[in-house]
């Protein structure tokens, strides 16, 4: 009985690691200013050559390899089809990353507004992701 209790405590105290997702960007649509007229380009995101999402112990983080920057992510939803995260926005707004598990594609959207600049911005980027266990 004692070994069962010790074994259970060891299993519970082990850190739980999640998969790691590497995002590869291949298209971008964006607009800014007073009118929202999107222009789209087939291109990799200039700000993130590699963006990796990983989690440990229920906390999720994004890491930009080119900038050596790590930032917290909030897990909004995780089911058999999608994982949805929110991430920090510089100005007032919202930003999300949606991983479509069955297709291996992701969509990243950011909509923000700066009162000081009187400017709004909307960006949608897409690509594929790989999973590392």
Over residues 24-65, the pLDDT tens digits come to 888 888 887 776 676 776 665 554 457 899 998 889 999 887
Pairwise CA distance, residues 93 & 68, whole Å:
24
> What range defines the domain where residue 116 resides?
16-132
Domains of the chain: total: 1
Is the residue at 6 inside a domain? no
Asked if residue 117 has pLDDT above 70, the reply is yes
Residues in the chain: 133
pLDDT given for residue 9 in this prediction = 34
Asked if the structure places residue 10 within a domain, the reply is no
Express as a percent the part of the chain with pLDDT over 90. Answer: 32
Q: Are the beta carbons of 56 and 15 closer than 8 angstroms?
A: yes
User: Which residues are within 8 A (CB) of 50 and not within 5 positions of it... i.e. 6 or more apart?
Assistant: 22, 23, 24, 64, 65, 66
φ, ψ of residue 7 in degrees (nearest 5): -60, -40
**CATH code for position 93:** 2.40.128
11 is a domain residue: no
* Structural domain contains residue 98: yes
- Domain-located, residue 128: yes
Identify which has the larger pLDDT, 107 or 87: 107
Residue 2 banded pLDDT, cuts 50, 70, 90: very low
Residue 67 resides in a domain: yes
The average confidence (pLDDT) of the chain is 78
DSSP 75-99: EEEE-SSEEEEE---SSEEEEEEEE
Query: Do residues 109 and 96 touch, judged by C-beta distance below 8 A?
Result: yes
């Amino acid at each position: 009985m004692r070994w069962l209790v010790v074994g259970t405590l060891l299993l519970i105290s082990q850190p739980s690691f999640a998969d790691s997702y590497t995002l590869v960007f291949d298209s971008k649509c964006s607009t800014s200013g007073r009118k929202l007229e999107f222009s789209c380009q087939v291109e990799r995101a200039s700000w993130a050559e590699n963006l990796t999402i990983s989690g440990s112990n229920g906390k999720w983080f994004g890491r930009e390899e080119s900038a050596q920057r790590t930032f917290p992510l909030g897990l909004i939803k995780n089911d058999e089809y999608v994982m949805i995260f929110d991430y920090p926005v510089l100005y007032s707004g919202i930003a999300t990353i949606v991983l479509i598990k069955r297709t291996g594609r992701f969509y990243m959207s950011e909509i923000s507004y700066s009162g000081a600049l009187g400017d709004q911005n909307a960006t949608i980027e897409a690509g594929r992701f790989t999973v590392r266990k």
